[in-house]
Chains A and B, each alone.
Chain A
Amino acid sequence: MFSYFSDNEVLIQQTLVYVLLAISLQVVLRCGVVSLASIGFYTLGSYASAIAVKDGWPPVVILPLVALASGLLGYGFGKPLAKLRGLYLAMATLAFDLVIPVLLINGGDLTGGALGIYAIPLAITTSSLFVIVVLVILAVSQIERGWMGRASLALRSDENLARSMGVRVTRERYLAFAISAALGGLAGALSAMLFRAVSPGSGGFALITLGLTMAIVGGRDSWIGAVIGAYLVTWVPEWLRFVGSYRALVFGLVLVVVIMFFPDGLLGAARRLFARSRRKVAPASRSEREAVPV
């Protein structure tokens, strides 16, 4: 058991960091806002934490600081971006994600240019990482179940209706932006502390594809989907060693198939399967439900 953990420690750490990243994307996707900004905050957060750790700051200070700063920045970005809808928002946040590596390459000594920052002292253990992720999941699951979670679901299906039911649409959007940015930044900060190197190439297009895959394949309606997505993205490549260089092709196909046939992800598919099997046992319950006058 212990040897399993030590053999696979890097993969476990990777999964935990990816869970945070996937949740950060889900938070915005769930209210029907296609924002990819948290990927950019991931990259920014990883650089900020790399620089701070090398400067000798303790992680206890860095992590909350990075999360808070990203959240505030995200809230600030939310203001002008809230005007944009759908693909335009996707476009603007994509541009934000992709301009950051360019700026980092040109950042001189502070960012280490094209090489990035390496030999960062190891600043965090797997167990404290685990605690952080569990805390985040607890917070997010409370939000999901509470007023804000229901409000964002309403926002996704019909914005005007949500507004008429008393959902403060703009405020919910800002909040989702801020939470998403904070989680993205936090995930980035943790990744720099764990993997001890950051480079401008680690952000950008590849990370966007990876993040979206995690958020969508697992199921974007719940944090459980993020855990499933992060787990699959980290471990499937290990299982798929035999397909060798065709791995990205398998990923692409899986993404297409899931989005076509299981738009609410593997979690949604499992839930539907479970609901159907329960209905078979007690078919009366369904007709009872339908008989209730609306």
Chain B
Amino acid sequence: MIQVIADSLSLGSVYVLFALGLSLSWSVLNLLNLAYGAQFMLGAYFAYVVGNHVDLPLLFVLPAVMIIVAATSVVADNLVFRRLRTTAGTPVESELSMLVASIGLAAVAVTLVQHETQGESKFVPKSVFQVKTLNLGDTLHLTNMQLIMMVVTVLLTIALVVVVKWTRFGRAMRGVAVDPATCELLGVNSNRLFSTTIAISGALAGLAGVLLAIHLNYVDSTMGDPLLTKAFAIIIIGGVGSILGAAVGGYLLAFAEVLIVAYGPANYRDAIAFVVILAVLLLRPSGLFARQRWERA
């Protein structure tokens, strides 16, 4: 049982790490970013590239990769999403066109990496990080990477809550999410804010990609897709834009999956996320923890 809890905590950390950035860009930019899985994959891929070219530890590789992925997402925002935000006739139109554009961008990134790796799976070199298994007591086994992921997730969640809740930047971010036009009048540079948000979201995707690539010891052009649907489930459980909700949702989903693998029909593991999405959306569309109703109904 202790192992089940430990496994769900480490799996849940991966889910939460991945979902945070997606939730952020959804709530602030109204962007259902289907390219987020590709950004995550880019993080993993760049860790493999950087790790093979320079002999530096994780502490240096990780920030470098996060900056690269953040930069690619800012470029995508400036070139594509900004135009779609401003030129579309209605909010529904702009949401749809951003969703479609993100599918296109994902296809571009995935194909490029597929081509570079010749469709083979790679791994981040050992010089970046050496995974070791730690035996904590008789029944509990965790790797040092799993511990790092848990700690990073908790710290990041707290940091994001603090930033969004109590800083000037966070207030502007929440304001722009509700009414960009009024925020502009109040002196918020909404385009810069959108770029910053998408940069943070990209950096988080890159971070999750690097850590998970090391944890699973594999880098592959399609590694982001299965996580994407799980992240959607997590965001739906927690409510869009809610950071704590995403954290709770991530750990809940991981716990349910670990339980079904350990005791139930393991084949249905991947169905849980979808059933959760449908059930929550139909029964309690504002998410399990939302205090105010978002514009869904």
Q: How far is the CB of A239 from chain B (nearest CB, A)?
A: 18
Contact B104 A255, beta carbon cutoff 8 Å: yes
Contact B278 A34, beta carbon cutoff 8 Å: no
B107 nearest in chain A by CB position: A252
Q: How far is the CB of B191 from chain A (nearest CB, A)?
A: 17
Question: Once bound together, how far apart are the Cα atoms of A249 and B285, in whole Å?
Answer: 36
Question: Once bound together, how far apart are the Cα atoms of A86 and B294, in whole Å?
Answer: 12
Using Cβ atoms and an 8 Å threshold, which residues of chain B touch A263? Answer: 87-88, 93, 97
Q: How far is the CB of B217 from chain A (nearest CB, A)?
A: 25
Within 8 A of B (CB), among A65-111: 80-81, 83-88, 90-92, 94-96, 98-99, 102-103, 105-106
Using Cβ atoms and an 8 Å threshold, which residues of chain B touch A106? Answer: 265, 267-268, 271
Please, what's the 1-or-0 string for A234-253, where 1 marks a CB less than 8 Å from any CB in chain B? Answer: 00000000000111110111
Given known pairs A249-B107, A252-B104, the reply for A92 and B30 (CB within 8 Å) is no
Q: Which of B32, B96, B110 is most buried by chain A, counting CB atoms within 10 A of its CB?
A: B96
Question: Once bound together, how far apart are the Cα atoms of A91 and B22, in whole Å?
Answer: 13
Using Cβ atoms and an 8 Å threshold, which residues of chain A touch B90? Answer: 32, 156-158
Within 8 A of A (CB), among B84-107: 84, 87-93, 95-97, 99-101, 103-107
Q: How far is the CB of A27 from chain B (nearest CB, A)?
A: 15
Question: Once bound together, how far apart are the Cα atoms of A249 and B113, in whole Å?
Answer: 11
B83: interface (CB < 8 Å): yes
Contact A98 B285, beta carbon cutoff 8 Å: no
Using Cβ atoms and an 8 Å threshold, which residues of chain A touch B274? Answer: 95-96, 98-99, 102
The contact of A88 among B91, B105, B112, B285, by CB within 8 Å, is B285
Question: Once bound together, how far apart are the Cα atoms of A99 and B90, in whole Å?
Answer: 30
Question: Once bound together, how far apart are the Cα atoms of A248 and B109, in whole Å?
Answer: 10
Question: Once bound together, how far apart are the Cα atoms of A96 and B233, in whole Å?
Answer: 12
The contact of B107 among A88, A105, A245, A248, by CB within 8 Å, is A248
Within 8 A of A (CB), among B266-297: 267-268, 270-271, 273-275, 277-278, 281-282, 285, 295-297
Question: Once bound together, how far apart are the Cα atoms of A249 and B242, in whole Å?
Answer: 34
Using Cβ atoms and an 8 Å threshold, which residues of chain A touch B296? Answer: 83-85, 88
Using Cβ atoms and an 8 Å threshold, which residues of chain B touch A260? Answer: 80, 83-84, 97, 101
Number of interface residues of A (CB under 8 A): 46
Using Cβ atoms and an 8 Å threshold, which residues of chain B touch A248? Answer: 107, 110-111
The contact of B271 among A84, A102, A253, by CB within 8 Å, is A102
Question: Once bound together, how far apart are the Cα atoms of A25 and B111, in whole Å?
Answer: 26
A259: interface (CB < 8 Å): yes
Question: Once bound together, how far apart are the Cα atoms of A263 and B89, in whole Å?
Answer: 10
Question: Once bound together, how far apart are the Cα atoms of A255 and B84, in whole Å?
Answer: 13
Contact A253 B104, beta carbon cutoff 8 Å: yes
Contact B93 A87, beta carbon cutoff 8 Å: no
Contact B285 A83, beta carbon cutoff 8 Å: yes
Chain A contact residues, CB within 8 Å of chain B = 29, 32, 34, 80-81, 83-88, 90-92, 94-96, 98-99, 102-103, 105-106, 156-158, 205, 208-209, 212-213, 216, 245-249, 251-256, 259-260, 263
Provide a sorted-by-A list of 25 A–B residue pairs whose CB atoms are within 8 angstroms.
Answer: A83-B282, A84-B296, A85-B296, A87-B95, A88-B281, A91-B32, A91-B277, A95-B229, A95-B233, A95-B281, A99-B271, A156-B93, A209-B103, A213-B103, A246-B115, A248-B111, A249-B107, A251-B107, A255-B100, A255-B101, A260-B83, A260-B97, A260-B101, A263-B93, A263-B97
Can you add 4 more A-B contacts, CB < 8 Å, to A85-B295, A85-B297, A260-B83? A81-B282, A83-B296, A88-B296, A249-B108
